Amino acid sequence: MFEFGKDLRKIFAQARESDDLSWLELIGVNLVEVEARQQSVDAGRVSCKHPVEASLRASAFWREHARRCGHPASLERAAAAVTDARRRAVGDQIAETELEAVRVDMLRFDLCGDVAVLDRAFETVAAVGAPKSAQTATTAAALHARLSARRARLSGDPAALLDAAALLDAALHDLRSAPADHVEDVRMDRAALALEAGVARRDPRLLDQAGRDLLALVESASPDYRPLTRARALALCGAGLAALAAVAGDQSARLQGQALFDAAVDQFTPDHSPLDWAAIQILRADDPETPTKALIEAEALTAGGGLILGALAREARTARAVHEAEDQGDLTALAAVAARLRVRLQSEDADAAPLDWAADQIGLARVGLAVGRLCGQTPPGVALALSEAAEVARHHGVPALASRAEGLIQIRA
């Protein structure tokens, strides 16, 4: 995506030694992998002067690669780098190493779900205790706040949401002198939490808080230096407007949300960060103006690895196919969609990819409901399939997929 001259190479050589890894946003996912491999090699050299720091940096690089492409192997390499650091850590380095393990597990949860992984991250951060370094203590508090926000969003409990928001507020206050990428991660989490709760409760105060955070992120993230942070903030703005438009039936808000999604996509190319690109297509999937081709490509980019985005992309593409077939009254097309889903369900291991299984069950239920609307009789077992899919999705910490199933249960009722 970028051409590097001699002077830029010098700048990046300096950036590689910095604690702020936001410079990684400027390079494509393939170059991130190159950097991660080189850092892993450097950390393993006998001549490495600071092996613990080098291993932790290697883990951070592999995390960024996994965040951008979703490869399970990259997560495992990040975890292996943490293991290497653990073997040699002393003093306050032990706490820093455990906090990196928390980051790896938090990303694993964000990518693949599984509440057990989130619980493990909580246990790890709690076991860190009180580090001697004030900076390490601040980082531990910020990670605890971010984990609390994820747990609160899973529970949906208003009191838990407020408590998590307060923890994120305190973390942002204490992180004022921390690297920019650390601050922005917390701010993004606070915006997402406030936006989700604000839309669900129609609370103007929470929506205003989310708007302020997102505006700050967009204004501080230059498209020339922080394209992915800017795109993520714009996409979250678009998702908020789309949700409000759906609740209020506001066409102008829907169009504004679409414009924000378009602006987010314009910040980078799909090969620069495949998962970010796919996430934006999934967020805008309910808009009929989103091309079917984009949903097919998003499904291809996120297939395999048991990714949350992969399951959501599957469900979104199937929903579009069912909607188009029903609009045309095409029972043959609906039968073809159902056949494709059944083949996939029979060929895949539900235990190995439970979220994909749940997405395909929801897809089959969509076909059944569409057939019922066209023919006057819904096939049996639709409600049961939706209930099982919703249960699996919630058990694995993916309320977005569960909500899709539960929404269809209400339609069926």
**pLDDT value at residue 4:** 47
**pLDDT value at residue 205:** 86
Residue 130 identity (one-letter amino acid):
A
Of 241, 240, 238, 261, the closest CA to residue 250 belongs to 241
In a domain, 262, yes or no: no
pLDDT in tens, 293-315: 999 999 999 998 899 999 999 99
**pLDDT value at residue 297:** 96
149 contact partners, CB below 8 Å, separation of at least 6? 164, 165, 167, 168, 189, 190, 192, 193
> pTM for this one?
0.92
Residue 76 is encoded by which pair of tokens?
């495992």
Domain termination site, one of 110, 132, 154? 132
| Cβ neighbours of 206 (radius 10 Å) | 21
CA 259 to the chain's CA centroid = 21
CA 187 to the chain's CA centroid = 15
In a domain, 105, yes or no: yes
Q: What is the mean pLDDT of each run of 10 residues along the chain (413 residues)?
A: 49 57 91 95 92 96 97 97 95 93 98 96 90 86 96 88 92 84 91 88 85 91 92 94 82 89 94 96 92 95 93 97 96 96 85 90 95 87 92 94 91 69
Instruction: Tell me which residue range forms the domain holding 44.
Output: 1-132
Domain termination site, one of 132, 159, 179? 132
**pLDDT value at residue 252:** 86
Residues 81, 62 contacting (CB under 8 angstroms): yes
**Long-range contact set of residues 317-326: C-beta below 8 Å, sequence gap at least 24:** 317/292, 318/359, 318/360, 318/362, 318/363, 318/366, 319/285, 319/363, 319/366, 320/285, 320/292, 320/295, 321/292, 322/363, 322/366, 322/367, 322/370, 323/370, 324/292, 325/370, 326/370, 326/373, 326/374
322 contact partners, CB below 8 Å, separation of at least 6? 334, 337, 363, 366, 367, 370
Tally the domains of the chain: 2
341 contact partners, CB below 8 Å, separation of at least 6? 318, 360, 363, 364, 367
**pLDDT value at residue 50:** 93
**pLDDT value at residue 42:** 93
In a domain, 72, yes or no: yes
In a domain, 215, yes or no: no
Domain termination site, one of 109, 132, 155? 132
**pLDDT value at residue 1:** 44
In a domain, 25, yes or no: yes
In a domain, 183, yes or no: no
In a domain, 203, yes or no: no
386 contact partners, CB below 8 Å, separation of at least 6? 361, 362, 365, 405, 406, 408, 409, 412
In a domain, 225, yes or no: no
